[in-house]
């Protein structure tokens, strides 16, 4: 009997190559566990049982014929249901895609399959990744495995809950404004959002294309590095992707933090911050200092403008991206009305409340007479924030802040007040606005829900980001 709770990618890999377990049995064990555990949690929307077991068999054959296998070979992982896996449904958490079957693999899926990773199934999310609690999903509520009366965060709440409840070893999510880091923080996991351009988004249902990034949930920093190494790189199908390569071994390059400068973002630690979060982050700053890092206080005067800026740019892009759901594509019904009626009825009926709200908000901020005051203004504020980050990185290597302003909140607590829901992303949105890589590391607390500590690095400097995270994780 394998204890699924202890498994990381690294440990599982060792068990597999030492033939202490077979990939087939491990995968079967996961499905058996999911069958009972997920009734309570609701992390998965669909399972790929037959295909996963078949894939696992292939890995076992390779192992028994002494073929060398990669680190992810035979590792059971979960995928957010807005990333395409060929021949499987991809709902994006929306009724409008309830019956849509993907006709191709997203680039990240191609890469994972090539590496031998086992895809267990697709996980729940806020509809089209619009939300911070996974409650806007058209299908089900996902519960926080650490406290089932609380949300797992969102929008990648299913992917976070799957790993936190040991129903997968790692998972993929997408992060447009914090949708990986915020649920990682709420569920006590490592959540990584790579640099904009480090990972191809081909095959990811677009929310806001200038901000969207695919990220990972894992139990350890090393596992995050292994996932990033596999999924990153330039892709001709995503013109924003860059020739970025990352080696997991680089994560272990630092032995101390001597010579590393870490900036505390002053504006994130003002008087409004929950004093308990401040105390726990301070304790970790002390650890970083003890490891040899030089700690500085850095000011990013307009960082607080990131969130209002985001709520202009994101809906503007979303309203355009979601125009494709027209009732002609991805629909099941035969067409028996005129085009305009079809649009109105199909979109009105099948988009949920939050999605409709953001589409209309997007239409508003882009509409004639308001474009300059909203969209153009937001683009300029975005530039200002980018410049402030650039200046900050002239003085330090990484920046530190909390991931979220609170621990996981109760199910239903914020659903009636959109702005209070949006505010739970206040510390995560800046990295998307500036396209920077950021990671949330879990700060575990006794008899209480965890907090997340966020580190943000320069563009494409995942190497430093993960090396510091690795040392901090060991010392925590």
What amino acid positions are annotated as catalytic residues?
A: 80, 155, 179
Question: Nearest-CA neighbor of 80 among 68, 88, 70, 72?
Answer: 88
Q: Does 104 bind another protein (CB under 8 A)?
A: yes
Q: Is 245 near another protein (CB under 8 A)?
A: no
Position of tokens 């008899």? 447
Please, what is the minimum distance in Å from the beta carbon of residue 322 to another protein?
9
Instruction: Specify which residues 457 forms β-bridges with.
Output: 398
Supply the minimum distance, in Å, between the C-beta of residue 135 and another protein.
15
Q: Alpha carbon 12 to chain centroid distance?
A: 23
Q: Counting beta carbons within 10 angstroms of the beta carbon of residue 363, is it exposed (0 to 12), middle (13 to 18) or buried (19 or more)? A: middle
Closer by beta carbon to another protein, 62 or else 377: 377
Is position 261 an interface residue for another protein (rule: CB under 8 A)? Answer: no
Residues touching another protein: how many (CB under 8 A)? 58
Strands 261-265 and 294-298: parallel
Taking phi over 0 as left and psi of -120 to 50 as alpha, with beta for the rest, 197 belongs to left
Out of 24, 30, 44, 100, name the contact with another protein by CB under 8 A: 100
Question: Structure tokens of 441?
Answer: 């590391």
Residue 384 interacts with another protein (CB under 8 A): yes or no: yes
Shorter beta-carbon distance to another protein: residue 19 or 324:
324
384 C-beta neighbours (distance < 10 Å), count: 15
Least separation in angstroms between CB 451 and another protein: 25
Alpha-carbon distance of 191 to 220, in angstroms, equals 9
* Candidate list 64, 149, 239, 391; residue touching another protein; CB under 8 A: 239
State yes or no: residue 11 binds another protein (CB under 8 A): no
272 binds another protein (CB under 8 A): no
Q: Minimum Å distance from CB 386 to another protein? A: 7
Q: How far is the CB of 440 from another protein (least distance, A)?
A: 24
Q: Does 103 participate in binding another protein (rule CB under 8 A)?
A: yes
User: Can residue 361 be called a binding residue for another protein (CB under 8 A)?
Assistant: yes
CB of 315 to another protein, least distance (A): 9
The region, left, alpha or beta by phi > 0 then psi within -120 to 50, assigned to residue 203 is left
Q: Does position 91 bind another protein by CB under 8 A?
A: no
Contact 154, 134 (CB under 8 A): yes
Q: Which 284-343 positions form the footprint of another protein (CB under 8 A)?
A: 302, 304-305, 308-309, 311-312, 319, 323, 326, 328-335, 337-340, 342-343
Please, are residues 164 and 187 in contact by the beta-carbon 8 Å criterion?
A: yes
391 touches another protein by CB under 8 A: no
Taking a C-beta distance cutoff of 8 angstroms, is the pair 232, 244 a contact? yes
DSSP 155-179: SSHHHHHHHHTTS-SEEEEE-SSST
Query: Binding to another protein by residue 106, rule CB under 8 A?
Result: no
* CA pair distance 435, 251, nearest whole angstrom: 21
Q: How far is the CB of 275 from another protein (least distance, A)?
A: 24
As beta bridge partners, residue 44 has 123
CB contact at 8 A, 93 and 139: yes
Site string for another protein, 417-456 (x = CB under 8 A): xxx--x----------------------------------
Q: What are the residues binding another protein (CB under 8 A)? A: 100, 103-104, 236, 239-240, 242, 302, 304-305, 308-309, 311-312, 319, 323, 326, 328-335, 337-340, 342-345, 347-349, 351, 356-357, 359-361, 363-364, 367, 374, 377-381, 383-384, 386, 417-419, 422
């Amino acid at each position: 009997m394998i204890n699924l709770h202890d498994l990381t990618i690294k440990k599982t890999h060792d068990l597999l190559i030492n033939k202490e377990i077979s990939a087939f049995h491990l995968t079967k064990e996961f499905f058996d566990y999911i069958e009972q555990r997920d009734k309570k949690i609701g992390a998965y929307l669909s399972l790929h049982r037959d295909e996963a077991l078949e894939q696992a068999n292939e890995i076992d054959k390779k192992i028994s014929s002494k073929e060398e296998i990669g680190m992810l070979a035979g590792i059971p992982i979960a995928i957010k249901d807005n990333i395409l896996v060929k021949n499987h449904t991809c709902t994006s958490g929306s009724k409008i895609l309830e019956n849509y079957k993907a006709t191709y693999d997203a680039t990240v899926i191609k890469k994972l399959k090539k590496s031998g990773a086992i895809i267990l199934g697709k996980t729940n999310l806020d509809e089209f990744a619009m939300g911070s609690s996974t409650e806007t999903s058209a299908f089900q509520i996902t519960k926080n495995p650490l406290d089932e009366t609380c949300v797992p965060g969102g929008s990648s709440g299913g992917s976070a809950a799957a790993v936190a409840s040991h129903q997968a070893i790692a998972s993929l999510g997408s992060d447009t404004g914090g949708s990986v880091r915020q649920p990682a923080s709420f569920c006590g996991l490592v959540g990584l959002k790579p640099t904009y351009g480090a990972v191809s988004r081909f095959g990811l249902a677009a929310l806001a294309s200038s901000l969207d990034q695919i990220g990972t949930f894992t139990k350890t920093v090393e596992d995050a590095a292994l996932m990033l190494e596999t999924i990153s790189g330039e892709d001709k199908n995503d013109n924003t992707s860059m020739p970025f390569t990352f080696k997991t071994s680089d994560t272990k390059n630092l032995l101390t933090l001597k010579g590393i400068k870490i900036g505390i973002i002053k504006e994130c630690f003002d008087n409004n911050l929950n004093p308990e979060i401040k105390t726990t982050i301070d304790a970790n700053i002390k650890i970083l200092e003890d490891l040899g890092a030089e700690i500085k206080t850095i000011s990013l005067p307009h960082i607080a403008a990131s969130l209002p800026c985001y709520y202009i740019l994101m809906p503007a892009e979303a309203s355009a991206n979601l125009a494709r759901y027209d009732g002609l594509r991805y629909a099941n019904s035969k067409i028996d009305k005129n085009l305009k009626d079809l649009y109105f009825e199909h979109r009105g009926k099948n988009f949920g409340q939050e999605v409709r709200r953001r589409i209309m908000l997007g239409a508003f901020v882009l509409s004639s007479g308001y474009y300059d005051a909203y969209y153009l203004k937001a683009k300029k504020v975005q530039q200002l924030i980018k410049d402030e980050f650039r200046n900050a990185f002239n003085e330090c290597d990484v920046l530190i802040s909390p991931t979220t302003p609170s621990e996981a909140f109760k199910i239903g607590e914020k659903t009636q007040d959109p702005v209070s829901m949006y505010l739970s992303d206040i510390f995560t949105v800046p990295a998307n606005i500036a396209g920077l890589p950021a990671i949330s590391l879990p700060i575990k607390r006794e008899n209480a829900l965890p907090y997340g500590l966020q580190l943000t690095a320069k563009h494409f400097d995942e190497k430093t980001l993960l090396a510091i995270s690795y040392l901090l994780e060991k010392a925590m």
